[in-house]
Amino acid sequence: MHKVCIYDSTLRDGAQAEGISFSVEDKLKIVSKLDELGVSYIEAGNPGSNPKDLEFFQRVKHMKLNNIKLTAFGSTRRVGINVEDDNNVQSLLKADTPAVAIFGKSWDLHVEDILKTTLEENLGMIEDTIRFFKGKGKEVVFDAEHFFDGYKQNREYATQALQAAVDGGADSLVLCDTNGGCFPLEISEITKEVCKRFDVPVGIHCHNDTGMAVANSIVAVQAGARQVQGTFNGFGERCGNADLCTIIPNLQIKLGIPCIAPDKIENITSAARFVSEIANVAHNERAPYVGNSSFAHKGGMHIDGVVKNPKTFEHIDPSSVGNERRFLMSEVAGRTTILSRINQVDASLTKNSPQTKQIVDRLKELEHQGYQFEGAESSFELVIRKELGKYKPFFDLNHFKVIVNEPSREEFSSSALIKVNVNGEEEITAAEGDGPVNALDKAMRKALERFYPQLNKMRLTDFKVRVLDSKTATAAKVRVLIESSDGESVWNTIGVSTDIIEASWKALVDSIEYKLQKDMEG
């Protein structure tokens, strides 16, 4: 079985996504992480487009990379000039990468309406540029931009664009569904025809505008493509690019097509979360394979089936991609679910153990108060530990005070003062924040970091509030659900009170206690 080269464009195409901006340091960290994972190529930026990418290429030269071939991205020469005189071409040379990706027009509509040149000149631009870089000893990847749309409109010209690239010496031809509007059967049939026509390895580059980028990439491989371009977590223009976090397991685990080293596939979930963390965006918890909900079970029948035989409701072993099974605490979960969580703390307990009944009774009591542990399993684990006497608080609160400044005329609208006690030592700290909960969160972690330095990696990634009884108006009880992350894992905690600040405090405390408990256990 031929290996499929994974060509990652997170740092170039992914950086074009709305709301994402990578610093040079961010890019270097992602390169290191994806090199560890065993990705074949990283398209790390367009040195002709901005000084930041030029700085990145200068600094990345000094990194020791074991798997990745760094690639700089740029266009063919401009219309009507010699390739040597094109500034973007010279910037690509300055990047000094072993490979370059050159994109060129393969759709006659773009040649005539966008480039405003002749079809012949465009073919010359493709061939000239690729021949130039081959003369400099570079591996050249040709990205045939808008190839599928161009092929459907003018098959002969789209094919001529590929031939021009081959004539220039291109090492691979990448067929791009740049508008993301094609369907799998179209991709499959056209890719198969191209693979038959050219001896040069063919790649696929899909966008997700119809929600089919992953499917289109998979069928292209089945049709003969040997390189898949995409981004981690599907970051990219508009609706995003093909998600490599789904494609890699689909190819390697489901289809038996090697992409990365077999012992590295279990690291893909942590790598996906790492990239989300660096990008400063909420990780997609419903993403296949790498989401927190990928192997989460809620229905009692589902849970019972998985306990008896995981294959009944899981298409793969979660651990094969570095993820884990979760049984959600809810009114439909059943005692089996609760016992499974209890056994993670004390494996000796059974359904009939008195401690099990004690925990179930406590769960019912808390649910009556408004707690709902379906999305807050970390808080539920702390409940279990408390009921079993396996919980020791890592700190005690003396008091806290929150001040809200309204109307807000400064960057921060709130401030918090907190005094805590850790093993007899007191610490008092203040912090400002964007709202009272943010200020309280920052003050608490600031106070505790002297005792627990690992908390500086932790941050609150999501905050939800739900009013439980709107009939009582401002005296209503609220449920606060907090999601936290340390860049490697994510956990959820809950707090309930008629005071939103107190409910938030309870959830924040659980979040920190859970993190410290897990770190202590190793």
Whole-angstrom distance, CA of residue 170 vs CA of residue 176:
16
Strand-by-strand arrangement of the 414-422 sheet? 396-404, 414-422, 425-433
Q: What is the pLDDT of residue 331?
A: 47
Whole-angstrom distance, CA of residue 313 vs CA of residue 309:
8
Q: pLDDT by residue (tens digit) across 85-104?
A: 999 999 999 999 999 999 99
Q: What is the 3-state secondary structure (H, E, C) of 324-388?
A: CCEECCCCCCCHHHHHHHHHHHCCCCCCCCHHHHHHHHHHHHHHHHCCCCCCCHHHHHHHHHHHC
Per the CATH hierarchy, to which homologous superfamily does domain 5-279 belong? Aldolase class I (3.20.20.70)
Q: pLDDT by residue (tens digit) across 326-356?
A: 777 654 455 666 787 788 888 898 888 888 8
Whats the size of the chain, residue-wise?
522
Average per-residue pLDDT for the chain: 91
**Is 89 in a helix, a strand, or coil?**
helix
User: Any bridge partners for residue 72, and if so which?
Assistant: 45, 100
Whole-angstrom distance, CA of residue 67 vs CA of residue 77:
30
Region of 389 on the Ramachandran plot (φ > 0 left; ψ -120 to 50 alpha; else beta):
left
Q: Which H or E run includes 404?
A: strand 396-404
Measured CA to CA in angstroms, residue 510 lies from 148, 329, 374 at distances of 52, 17, 15
Q: Do domains 5-279 and 396-521 have the same CATH topology?
A: no
The correct CATH number of 396-521 out of 3.30.479.30, 3.30.1490.20, 2.30.40.10, 3.30.160.270 is 3.30.160.270
Instruction: Give the chain's residues under pLDDT 50.
Output: 331-332
Q: Where are the domains of the chain?
A: 5-279, 296-387, 396-521
